[in-house]
Amino acid sequence: MRLTAAPPDWAQVEIAVPRSPGRLPGVSMAGFRHRAPAFVDIAMVAHPSVTLIFDLSEDEGIVYDANGRSEKGSAFVGLLPGEVHAAGTLGECLQVRLSPVMAARVFGASAELTGTVASFADVWGRGAERFEGRLRAAASWDERFAVVVEVLGRRLNASVDAEIAHIWQRTLASQGRLRVEGMADEVGWSRKRLWARFRSQLGITPKRAAQLVRFDHAAHLLAAGQATATVAAESGYVDQSHLHREVAAFAGTTPSAVAAAPWLAIDDVAWPVTPRK
């Protein structure tokens, strides 16, 4: 585990990351601890992963919006949920990101989970309370990371086509700039078959996946302080208007607002290596 100093806006937060990232391919983790429990009001930006947020606070904890109602405690955030807003008193939390391929292996065919923001217990089902209890009882972040690897590893039941996993990795490597027709040719499938299999297993179409990965790349460039025009050109958008439309579609806001998103401000600290396979 490494405890890393956070950027200025997060000066009161300790960030912990595993010593050896990638112990379970497609899973990355970060722990957050406020030096003194503090009120937070944050919006998470859409990311090409399924996210588990374990609220380990001893006090009131965080409250988030899920299916039109307020939920408290640990949360499941599926692919393409749009903006996720959370507020409350936060002491400690553990965030786990699963690539769509890994999420499909853990939760099964994930089409019904795309766009979902829900209580972790509702999605995980039996054993959720015990899982969270072990995380709370762990004496260190290293132990918590080990618990996550162990529990997720035991739940890997569903399979994902090797072709689908390959296309996902290629989409990441190209930063979302591959053409669907070219991807289908790579694995020897028709465009129709690729579209159907990809969506049934990962809960998203290849085109939408590429758009999400491209948006994520652009969002990090914006957070790094690059001008909108430069980001649009480097990310493969036709023009600035195209970038504005994609940002609005994925985040419900503007490029300037995405650039200031608090979770993006600490992404390079919390996720120094992101094995999203």
For the chain, the C-alpha Rg in angstroms (whole number) is 18
Beta carbons within 8 Å of 14's beta carbon, 6+ residues apart = 3, 4, 6, 32, 33, 35
| Eight-state DSSP code of residue 86 | E
Which of the listed CATH numbers 3.40.190.10, 2.60.120.10, 3.90.1170.20, 3.40.50.1220 matches domain 2-158? Answer: 2.60.120.10
3-state secondary structure at position 90 = strand
Write down the pLDDT at residue 277. Answer: 45
| Eight-state DSSP code of residue 46 | P
Beta carbons within 8 Å of 138's beta carbon, 6+ residues apart = 144, 147
| First-residue to last-residue Cα distance in the chain | 22
Instruction: List the chain domain ranges.
Output: 2-158, 162-263
Architecture of domain 162-263: Orthogonal Bundle (1.10)
Write down the pLDDT at residue 8. Answer: 44
Per-residue confidence of the chain (277 residues) as pLDDT tens digits?
445 544 445 667 888 999 876 678 899 999 988 776 667 777 777 889 999 999 998 767 778 877 667 788 898 998 887 667 777 777 788 999 999 999 999 998 766 778 888 899 999 999 999 999 999 999 999 999 999 999 999 999 888 999 999 999 999 999 999 887 888 999 999 999 999 999 999 999 999 999 999 999 999 999 999 999 999 999 999 999 999 999 999 988 899 988 887 777 778 788 875 444 4
| 42-74: burial string, b at 16+ Cβ within 10 Å, e else | ebbbbbbbbbbbbbbbeeebbbbbbeeeebebb
Beta carbons within 8 Å of 124's beta carbon, 6+ residues apart = 76, 131
Q: The tokens of 129 are what?
A: 């309370």
SS (H, E, C) 261-275: CHHHHCHHHHCCCCC
Beta carbons within 8 Å of 41's beta carbon, 6+ residues apart = 86, 87
One fold for 2-158 and 162-263: no
Beta carbons within 8 Å of 267's beta carbon, 6+ residues apart = 220, 223
